[in-house]
Amino acid sequence: MNTPSPHRVRTVSLHIHVGQASEALRVRKHLRETWDGLLLEQLQRAFDKIDVVNQVIRIPKLEVRLRVMGNSEWEKNLPRLLYENLTEQWSTEQAQGPSSSSNTAYTVIVSEAENRHAELVHYLRTGSLLWVAESLAGVKNRMELVARGNVIDLVSGLGAETDPASVLFRLLDLLDEPHLTACITSILKLYGEMTQHSDVIAEINNLFRSAIDLNRYHGQRFTAEFLATMWPHRNNPNLLLSWFQSHTFREERHEQMWAQQLWQTLTPLNLTEPKPLGRCPDAPFRDPAANTLPSSPTTQPELSVEPTAQKYLPVAPSGFHLTIPIPTSPSEPALDMRTAATPKNAPLPFLLPVFNVGVVLLHPFLPRFFQTCGLHLSPSSPPPDTMAHAAALLHYVVTGEPEVHELDIGFMKILLGVDLETSIAVAGGLVTESQRTEADGLLSAIIDHWKILKNTSIHGLRRSFLQRSGWLRKQGGSTRLHVQSESFDMLLNSLPWGLSIVKLPWMAAPLHVEWAAS
């Protein structure tokens, strides 16, 4: 839909039963063409009727089964029937309560504040979003505000995390200077007699802030690793020495210098056992169900069309499942609305909205581009710094922005040969001036090779093609990317290289691209 919606749907599955294969293809085409304009509009209308103020309703699953009369009627009646079914289901839910409805048995109503806090904590732990917003800039601003208003609470929960360094790295990336100082000070004061050494705390703060100002990525990493990993073991001289030695001999010369300065600052101190770190609040952070929240309203449906099939696809939590048996005989009943619960641990259909997917256009040029920029990717796991650097470079190529957060690079992970769930900690300060020049040169070369673009600017190429949204789905053993179409996609007919299959040297499996020329 063209207008932003407050509603989020993570997955959509449409399953249509028809009598003939040819009819199945026609139905599939019709639903793809009308999804945004008709069916999604009815979803929004139905959800708009739910009257909540400053609250968020999490509905793990909605399933609608409609039986419509004949081939001549279903296209006209489907939007209306969908709207009526959804509004009827929610009216029943309100009247009888969640416990009496098998369809929404796990429905939860939370406040906006709880929902935003859960969104932030999920990002701090995973580097990904609970759902896709209509604007990445909007969700970044929202998380920054929540992080800055809850620094102390978030810090107190580090002791419960399995990877506190990564959590802290992402938290530092969301903080401005005053809140950065408050965060570092709060962590230092959790440990015994450090509260009596305000001068040392101030000196450490200055060191960390200077490091982050000099190079955001390396400064944040150094700060996060020290605070999250080193302090609990500071009374063990061997571990202390080992940590500092590992940083003294790192390739990054700034980290060598920071480690030496920090060692000199800490050497005179004689600290006692640390205070125990607190744990994160139980709700909504530790509840697995809280990690399943609604997603983008513009999620495209994954269509599964089978002639006369009588089985139904499993439904993902926070998903919408519409089953439409289209009869071949007019004697069948006109409408049969049913709802059915899906087991909580049922396998999930994979359909994930992603941003900036137009970077796939550049795939023939990426190996040489990375090599020119001094990065060497291989099928074996490259060092974390290399992955972070490559992701930041791709982000700059697509957006022209040197500043980057991990939530910006979701699709970049696929092109780098790792899963979306793989954490790649990124921040500003990774892309050098010479590499920005190389990236701009790459885009100029693309325009030169793609003759029909003629005098298109680099900015125009980014906005028209590279900054495109899309959807990833698993199909068999492969990953498929469906790119959201635009009117000027007709220019893809003149693209001088292939696009349907992308297999870079460091990727274990190919990416199949569905990008139709309008």
What gap in Å lies between CA 262 and CA 80, rounded to an integer?
67
Within a 10 A sphere around the Cβ of 122, how many other Cβ atoms?
A: 19
Output the pLDDT for position 292.
27
Within a 10 A sphere around the Cβ of 250, how many other Cβ atoms?
A: 16
**Residues 6+ away with beta carbon under 8 Å from 211:** 218, 219, 222, 223, 254, 258
The beta strands (E) that lie in 409-469 are given as: none
Query: Nearest-CA neighbor of 179 among 220, 143, 151?
Result: 151
H/E stretch holding 353? strand 351-354
Which tokens in the block code for residue 344? 């909580």
Q: Under a CB-based contact definition with an 8 Å cutoff, are residues 368 and 375 in contact?
A: no
3-state secondary structure labels for all residues of 176-235: CHHHHHHHHHHHHCCCHHHHHCHHHHHHHHHHHHHHHHHCHHHHHHHHHHHHHHHHHHCC
DSSP states along 314-349: ---TTEEEEEEE--SSTTS-S---B-----TT----
**Residues 6+ away with beta carbon under 8 Å from 18:** 24, 27, 305, 307, 308, 326, 328
Output the pLDDT for position 161.
80
Query: Nearest-CA neighbor of 46 among 82, 92, 71?
Result: 82
Q: Under a CB-based contact definition with an 8 Å cutoff, are residues 290 and 118 in contact?
A: yes
Biggest alpha carbon–alpha carbon distance for the chain: 90
Q: Under a CB-based contact definition with an 8 Å cutoff, are residues 419 and 401 in contact?
A: no
Q: Can you say whether the dihedral through the CA atoms of 493, 498, 502, 506 is positive or negative?
A: negative
Which tokens in the block code for residue 41? 């509009």
Output the pLDDT for position 103.
45
DSSP state of 299: P
Helix (H, G, I), strand (E, B) or coil at 274: coil
CA 106, 112, 118, 123: dihedral to nearest 10 degrees? 120
**Over its length of 518 residues, how does the chain's per-residue pLDDT go in tens digits?**
334 456 766 666 666 676 677 777 777 777 766 666 677 777 778 777 776 666 777 676 677 776 665 556 677 777 888 788 878 877 776 666 544 444 444 566 777 888 888 889 889 988 887 766 556 778 888 899 999 888 888 887 777 788 888 999 999 999 988 899 888 888 887 765 667 778 888 888 899 999 999 889 999 998 998 888 766 665 565 666 677 777 766 667 788 888 888 878 877 665 444 444 333 333 222 233 333 222 332 333 333 333 333 222 222 224 444 554 544 443 333 322 233 333 333 333 446 778 899 999 999 999 999 999 999 998 877 788 899 999 999 999 999 999 999 989 999 999 999 988 888 999 999 999 999 999 999 999 999 999 999 889 999 999 999 999 888 887 777 889 989 888 889 999 999 999 999 999 999 899 999 998 76
What gap in Å lies between CA 85 and CA 415, rounded to an integer?
41
Q: Can you say whether the dihedral through the CA atoms of 3, 6, 12, 14 is positive or negative?
A: negative
388: alpha, beta or left? (left if phi > 0; alpha if psi -120 to 50):
alpha
Query: Nearest-CA neighbor of 367 among 505, 501, 503, 511?
Result: 505
Output the pLDDT for position 11.
62
What gap in Å lies between CA 27 and CA 22, rounded to an integer?
9
Provide φ and ψ at 49, rounded to 5°: -75, -15
Query: Nearest-CA neighbor of 255 among 434, 385, 383, 161?
Result: 385
**Residues 6+ away with beta carbon under 8 Å from 250:** 256, 259
What gap in Å lies between CA 170 and CA 251, rounded to an integer?
23
Residue located via tokens 């580097």 = 127
What residue spans define the domains of the chain? 11-111+289-349, 354-514
Output the pLDDT for position 342.
33
3-state secondary structure labels for all residues of 378-411: CCCCCCHHHHHHHHHHHHHHHHCCCCCCHHHCHH
**Long-range CB contacts (< 8 A, 24+ apart) of 281-285?**
281/153, 281/157, 283/114, 284/110, 284/114, 284/115, 284/117, 284/118, 285/117, 285/118, 285/121, 285/157
Q: Under a CB-based contact definition with an 8 Å cutoff, are residues 465 and 361 in contact?
A: yes
Query: Nearest-CA neighbor of 393 among 435, 363, 444, 330?
Result: 435
Which tokens in the block code for residue 425? 């900690």
